[in-house]
Chain A
Amino acid sequence: MEVFENNMLSLEALPELVAQDFEKLPNRYFRLRIWTWGIVLSLSFCIMLGGLLWAAFNDEVLLTNVPVILWVFCIAWLLFISLWGVSEFRGFHLRGYAVRERDLSFRSGYFFHTYTTVPFNRLQHSEVSQGPLSRAVRLCTLKIYTAGSSGANLSIAGMDPVDAQRIRDYIDDNGID
């Protein structure tokens, strides 16, 4: 067995991940997410407005007679949609990945923020997946698998396929020892 050196490192000397600049995802992914949000918003808004109008023009159900639970549901739904919107608009610039010499990090989320780092020497395999929609807008999902659990351990949605391929090539060349 080789001699394993284990000199004490001062913690300040450690490369710090959190302060590093993360690579942002392409803007068209942002637009795609906003479109999804917008479509859900307008659809649900139309349905609610339609229901209200129907109630207003229908003599049997008066606007004042609509059950309270329905109002509560509408308000909760609007709250959910608006929080979703906030997390999309303010959270997108927090979403990003960083490739270092020996690991890949990903961070995401506005209300619930997560940092994850997978070192390349723990990687089992990687996968690039692309649905019809994401193929149309030239995006893909990079999934990284490590041992110990059944699902993907790190999955970066909305990457440029070229970048994803570059990362995979880099991993193939340097990663698994």
Chain B
Amino acid sequence: MESIEGLQQAFGEPRRQHFLGTIRYFSRNINLLVRSFFPILAGLALSDEFRQYIEVIAVVVFALITIAAFVEFWRFRFHVNNHSIIIEKGLLEREVIAIPFDRIQALHLEQAPWQRLVGLTKLKIDTAGTSGAEVDLQALNLSEANVLRDGIMAARSVLASPVPERGVDSLPLVHLSPKALLKVGLTQDHLRNGFIALGAVIALYEPFKSLIDTWLSLVPKMYWSILSWTWFLFIPLGVFLFLILSFIVSSAGAILRYFNLKAVLYDREISLKAGLLRRFEYRIPLAKIQILEWRSTLMRRALSIETLRVFQASAQESDSSSKGLSMSVPGISKEASSNLASAVFESMQENSEVERIEPSIYLYYRFLILRILIGSAAVIAASSGGALLFLIGGVIVWSFHSARKKFENYWLLVTPDVCQIYDGWLRKKRSMFSFFKLQRVALYQNTLMRKRGVAHITFATAAGNRTFKFLNENDAKRLYDWSLMKIEQGSRNWM
């Protein structure tokens, strides 16, 4: 209760952010300017007339940006009343945004390196409906931000229907010690990160093409002629460099991001703190969690850790591939996972009744045929002669094995309230959601599937869709009717 009164005292009157918030606006404006006019700027930098006036132009642009940042800071005011936070902003026209507390999904604190030096923080406000509308508070004193955050959280839980106490104050989920952090860093998806880094290098090469060409022309002709004969010697070196670089880049990225990560399960929310340079603190109320998703690779399973992703409602279109509005907790152990799952899905432990639903055998045939076709096509394209038969034999054996494994690792685990989708063989994925939090359900069949009596089922949650493919039609219809019954019967709030 006292946190709510403190909230009213501190933020009842309209007020501005910390003055240093202008720095954030300033850097954002510069960033915006450079990004939107990059091609023009690059072109202008080469023209001589432009260079003559470059000082004048720089000063004018700089002044304009500074003034804009200051005005934006000045016009941004916010305060709270009993049930919502009200933000007034707008550079030229005035905009007033009122966000009711119960519409706020979560409040995140994020500290950029410079903000940590001066004890400021950014407060991100996640709402379910307003995608794109920027309502973040850019700079607040850390203590003030904590008052605001805790106050809003407390006020909201008073407004919302009370949730039964679970009698647990706090339960640490993950605490990444340096050793555990190293584990997480080493088991990153190095290859993927390497390719992303390579893509970035190539994209950066384009604007600086002329510069690099001038440098390269300084290299004597003789070296080029040597290079043209011996280039293939550099392939292993290149591959080796690429592997090492991607390893370093992705490990460093993980360490920067997840340094000193602490995930704690509280009575009604999960909190996550991490970061070496940019420190962030996320909190998600348990009731707002729509989907829990665990992913693991072969290496991570060997170290018995998984990556957990917590999905909350979002306005953006998000399927299972895109990130949506989610919070990622790396290096979580089996035990912590089951603690969290039973906290989020309260009825989990009471219901002993579990049904395992397996997909139709047609899915196996489909995996098998696709693998054989694609594998053979690749082999035929790459080789010829006697090796071909041998390789095709290998492809067929591997196809049988991997299709079987993939099929065996794809199933649904259903309790009366909770549905879990298991997927993947080497790279495993497991999604978990409540039936009553679903938004809608859909069945899908094409002509062939209808003849064979199989169907796909799509469960749509407020945080994105999850589809289970090639179910037997009876199972699919059963699940469909069951989900509808659960949604329509429940009077509990889904978000």
B487 touches A121 (CB 8 A): yes
A14 contacts which of B442, B465, B481 (Cβ < 8 Å)?
A: B481
User: With A and B bound together, what is the CA distance between A2 and B489 in angstroms?
Assistant: 13
Does B155 sit within 8 A of A, measured CB to CB? no
Interface centre among A11, A111, A147, A148 (most CB of B within 10 A): A148
Chain A residues with CB under 8 A of B484: 17, 103, 117, 119
A6 within 8 A of B: yes
Shortest beta-carbon distance from B290 to chain A in Å: 8
Q: For residue A6, which residue of chain B has the nearest CB? A: B416
Known: A1-B164, A117-B441. 10 other contacts (CB 8 A): A6-B417, A17-B481, A18-B480, A111-B447, A112-B445, A113-B446, A115-B480, A122-B440, A148-B460, A154-B440
**Chain B contacts of A149 at CB under 8 A?**
316-318, 460, 464-465
* B491-A153 in contact (CB<8A): no
Residue of B with least CB distance to A148: B462
In the assembled complex, the Cα of A7 lies from the Cα of B294 at a distance in Å of: 30
Whether A153 touches B450, Cβ cut-off 8 Å, given contacts A1-B162, A114-B443, A115-B480, is: no
The 6 A-B pairs of least Cβ separation, nearest first, read: A148-B462, A146-B439, A147-B462, A116-B442, A115-B443, A102-B488
A interface residues, Cβ below 8 angstroms from B? 1-2, 4, 6, 8-9, 11, 14-18, 102-103, 110-119, 121-122, 146-151, 153-154, 177
**Partner among A1, A113, A122, A150 whose Cβ is within 8 Å of the Cβ of B316:** A150
Contact partner of A122 (CB less than 8 A), chosen from B314, B347, B487, is: B487
- Cα–Cα, bound, A103→B439 (Å): 11
B205 to chain A, nearest CB (A): 35
Count of A-B contacts judged by CB separation below 8 Å: 111
Q: Which residue of A lies closest to B447 (CB)?
A: A111
Q: A8: which B residues are within 8 A, CB to CB?
A: 353, 416
Q: Which B462-495 residues sit within 8 Å CB-CB of chain A?
A: 462-465, 477-478, 480-482, 484-485, 487-488, 490-492, 494-495
A146–B440 touching, CB < 8 Å: yes
Chain B residue nearest to A118 (CB atoms) is B440
A151 to B439, CA, bound (A): 14
- A and B contact pairs by CB, cutoff 8 A, 23 listed: A1-B162, A4-B490, A6-B417, A8-B353, A8-B416, A16-B477, A17-B484, A18-B443, A102-B488, A113-B447, A113-B450, A114-B444, A115-B442, A117-B442, A117-B480, A119-B487, A121-B487, A121-B488, A146-B439, A148-B313, A148-B314, A150-B317, A153-B440
**In the assembled complex, how far is the CB of residue B378 from the closest CB belonging to chain A, in whole angstroms?**
26
Q: Does B461 contact A (CB under 8 A)?
A: yes
**A80 CB to nearest B CB, Å:** 16
Nearest Cβ in chain B — how far from A90, in angstroms?
10
